[in-house]
Structure 1
Amino acid sequence: MNLELSEEQAAVRDLAAAFTDREIVPHAAAWDRAESVDRDIVGKLGKLGFLGLTIPEEYGGSGGDHLAYCLALEELGRGDSAVRGIVSVSLGLVGKSIAGYGTEEQKRAWLPRLTSGEVLGCFALTEPGTGSDAANLTTRAVRDGDDWLITGGKTFITNGTWAKVALVFARTGEDGHRGITAFLVETGLPGFERRTIHGKLGLRGQATAELSFDNVRVPDGARLGAEGQGFRVAMSALAKGRMSVAAGCVGISRACLEAAVKYAGEREQFGKPIASHQLVQELLADIAVDVEASRLLTWKVADLIERGLPFATASSTAKLYASEAAVRAANNALQVFGGYGFIDEYPVGKYLRDARVMTLYEGTSQIHKLLIGRSLTGINAF
């Protein structure tokens, strides 16, 4: 086992770190208060290749392996999870799904635009009544000649108000997962509407939306994968997407550690820096251990993907641990800051709010425990 980074991987990490320090960290608090990231960040992400990692260069991608992808997302997550989410969804869920299941025409039409940042994608799976129970979604697509008419609604859709293409999952057949099909839907079509969700606890800068479809007409050429294959497309995307979330959570935990260590060295109580108090060092040590454990679990997923081995359970494990660890890290960092951690002049309150949602989306912690349990026992406990 060799955990040393290659020159290419180290270069991606360093580029992402410098970009984060220059373009994200100085603005994260303001974006959080305004509930909107500056849209110019999308073009900057595309220009440096972050929206094209792991996508072949022939389709406009920047290549690289999945570990390089994780390294970049860790740095972006360290700066602002709202920015990390832009990449995780547009590239990780939408772009990679097109690369894996799309026709040559679909790849040529969408991948160069997605990887450059010319357009963003959103992943329209979750519905108001079906979150964890995605196999029972109710959005429906009905065949009309050579077209499909899509009707229904989606919610909590990251990039939803910014995206130019939505990867929409709709029921085209029987109940359950076998009756679901995936479609690439241009967001400007008649009958397609979207509304920004405001007032979120965390990820405030992220463009999160409700989507509605009223007989939105799309050609059969917009179908991604075979009819009835949509659930497979969604689960394949989410298995890799959970690695993205885990990498971003490593970034949150790292940001918590760096902020807490710096503050503990500056803040004095009882005549000496609080870093010299044993229980403060315990808080810092707990964060540091969680950072390392979360990172190694995430890197394991990337390694399995690169070697073509099964990775879904490892991805659930990494996502479960890293997301819960990020909450612990933020709680511990806030404790180090004391009362100052409770106001948004300091960053740890935002870290806690952002970390909390990580235990909910792309599979709640409880869902991942069930997935891991099923892999251990062979028994479905849903």
Structure 2
Amino acid sequence: MHMAIDFALTPRQRTLKYEVREFAREIVRPAAERADALADPQASFAAMKSAFAHAHRMGLTTGFLPAKYGGGGASNIELLLASEELAAVDAGFATTLLINGLALLPLAWFGPEELCERWIGAATAPDRTDFLAGWVVSERGGTANFDHPDPGAGIQLFAEHDRGSGEYVLNGEKHWPGNAGGWDLQGADVNICVVRTDRRRGGRDCLSVAAVERGTAGVDFRVIDKIGHRTCQNVTMTFRDVRVPEKNVFAHGDGDLVINRAFTWSGPVAAIAAIGVARAAYDFALKWARTYTGGGSSPIIAHQAVGHLLADVAARIEAGRYMCWKTAHYLDTHEDAGHALGAMNKVYCTDLMHEVVTDCMRIVGVNALDKKFGMEKLYRDAIAFPLYDAGNIGMQRRRAWGVMADTGFTPDLIADGDAIAFTRSMEGYGI
């Protein structure tokens, strides 16, 4: 009797994989190579705008959004298949698409129908090929302790309710939000901002979410110049008496749950992106080992040390990919019950794939430092994964820890495919 486990891709999934691979190699790669070489980080980001428009026409920028608002309604598995192919060519471009999801999906999960129809509907409109949404959570003092009970810790972008005007007034600063500056550094079409609405209460009680529309007065953007992921944008975003209509503020008091769910969804996406980068390094190292002699009489793949290391690299990539698929399947099945697995997936794969890229460079040798071969770019992109999308040392590990500390969690739970509901009692570990 066959087990109810199948790693075979459906015909539709195989078609998606190879269509995205062709797009990544033919459209994204040349644009990313030019963009990565630019000294100005904003110019690097803006240089990918035409590739983004092409991705929109293919449904890649909106495929993960709910069908009821014009999105593709794709499964998490399908999202991962596309993300690996994009990241194997350029991790920064893949991250831009990921951030659109991080920003817009909280609207679908927690937002009122009016905001969903307005902003998700705008993102999915056929003529809005350049629509960007910013995910605005991180702050200069760090965000790992977003659920801290001390009002002076965690999120410090304040939103004061001005009942007389029917608005919230935002003051503070965000550091590292993605897509937030927009293609022209005048702002994304909408920025989804986690804010503190009560200065006297802790992070479990007083965080909400504000949708800040492009063109809102009082917002300033300064681009961060990064070592890797240069084709995606990160900024320092300053708010000075920024007025937002009451109707644009949602998830009142549930901002902590928004953060947890968003980073659960993005965990396997970041993990598979790391797999994509590692796969690109492996592909290059394997081809190199089959032809490069190192001055000897035969290709270096004939040497045991190289052969063994390549076998280890291949095994780690395969194992990491299947963990990503397992996590995506779990999220497709249980939706909001994958907080522990999503966090573990992100941590394990992004740490491991950084090691894989380094091992591939060891196989290539000193030539890996030559920019013309592209290995140094893969290394620059690989080192970012453990640090971004809720850092592995900071937020992600303690998110998994909180779920595992619950008496309802068992070592068999994930393997058996059972769900465990996420509750606030799982927050606050390690703060």
TM-score range with shorter-chain normalisation? over 0.9
SS at 1:307 equivalent? helix
Other-structure match for 1:117: 129
Distance between the aligned counterparts of 1:69 and 1:298, measured in 2? 11
Other-structure match for 1:16: 20
Other-structure match for 1:142: 160
Comparing 302-311 with 347-356, greater Cα deviation is found at 302-311
Comparing 288-297 with 51-60, greater Cα deviation is found at 51-60
Distance between the aligned counterparts of 1:254 and 1:65, measured in 2? 23
Contact 2:98 2:266 in 1 (8 A): yes
Q: Are positions 1:376 and 2:401 aligned together?
A: no
Deviations 1:136-181 (A, max 9, x none): 1111000112110011110111112212211111110223231111
Distance between the aligned counterparts of 2:116 and 2:256, measured in 1? 20
Deviations 1:183-237 (A, max 9, x none): 1101321101101111x12111211111011011010111132x21112112111
> Counterparts of 1:171-186 in structure 2 under 5 Å?
171-173=196-198, 174-186=201-213
SS at 1:184 equivalent? strand
Q: Percent identity?
A: 23
Contact 2:24 2:89 in 1 (8 A): yes
Contact 1:81 1:203 in 2 (8 A): yes
Other-structure match for 2:419: none
SS at 1:53 equivalent? coil
Give the one of 155, 159, 172 matched to 2:175.
Answer: 155
Structure with larger Rg: 2
Other-structure match for 2:249: 223
Contact 1:253 1:325 in 2 (8 A): no
SS at 2:138 equivalent? coil
How far has the Cα of 1:40 moved from its partner?
A: 1.3
| Unaligned runs of at least 5 residues, structure 2 | 148-153, 183-187, 407-425
Other-structure match for 1:243: 268
Contact 2:340 2:401 in 1 (8 A): no
How far has the Cα of 1:132 moved from its partner?
A: 1.5
Contact 2:222 2:236 in 1 (8 A): yes
Q: Are positions 1:213 and 2:231 aligned together?
A: no
How far has the Cα of 1:28 moved from its partner?
A: 2.9
Comparing 344-353 with 22-31, greater Cα deviation is found at 22-31
Distance between the aligned counterparts of 1:291 and 1:65, measured in 2? 22
Distance between the aligned counterparts of 2:112 and 2:143, measured in 1? 29
Q: Which amino acid aligns with 1:150?
A: L
Other-structure match for 2:145: 133
| Unaligned runs of at least 5 residues, structure 1 | none
Contact 1:283 1:332 in 2 (8 A): yes
Contact 1:193 1:212 in 2 (8 A): yes
Give the one of 104, 110, 121 matched to 1:95.
Answer: 104
Comparing 28-37 with 236-245, greater Cα deviation is found at 28-37
How far has the Cα of 1:2 moved from its partner?
A: 1.1
SS at 1:25 equivalent? helix
> TM-score, length-normalised on structure 2?
0.84
SS at 1:152 equivalent? strand
Q: Which amino acid aligns with 2:275?
A: V
Deviations 1:10-31 (A, max 9, x none): 2221221111111122333322
SS at 2:228 equivalent? coil
How far has the Cα of 1:102 moved from its partner?
A: 2.0
> TM-score, length-normalised on structure 1?
0.95
Distance between the aligned counterparts of 2:93 and 2:402, measured in 1? 33
Q: Are positions 1:282 and 2:347 aligned together?
A: no
Q: Which has the higher helix share?
A: 1
Distance between the aligned counterparts of 1:197 and 1:13, measured in 2? 32
Q: Which amino acid aligns with 1:89?
A: I
Q: Are positions 1:196 and 2:200 aligned together?
A: no
Other-structure match for 2:417: none
Distance between the aligned counterparts of 1:46 and 1:259, measured in 2? 29
Distance between the aligned counterparts of 1:204 and 1:54, measured in 2? 24
Q: Are positions 1:58 and 2:68 aligned together?
A: yes
> Residues 224 and 287 from structure 1, CA distance in 2 versus in 1: closer, same or farther, beyond 3 angstroms?
farther
How far has the Cα of 1:371 moved from its partner?
A: 3.4
Aligned length: 379
SS at 1:112 equivalent? helix
Q: Which amino acid aligns with 2:169?
A: L
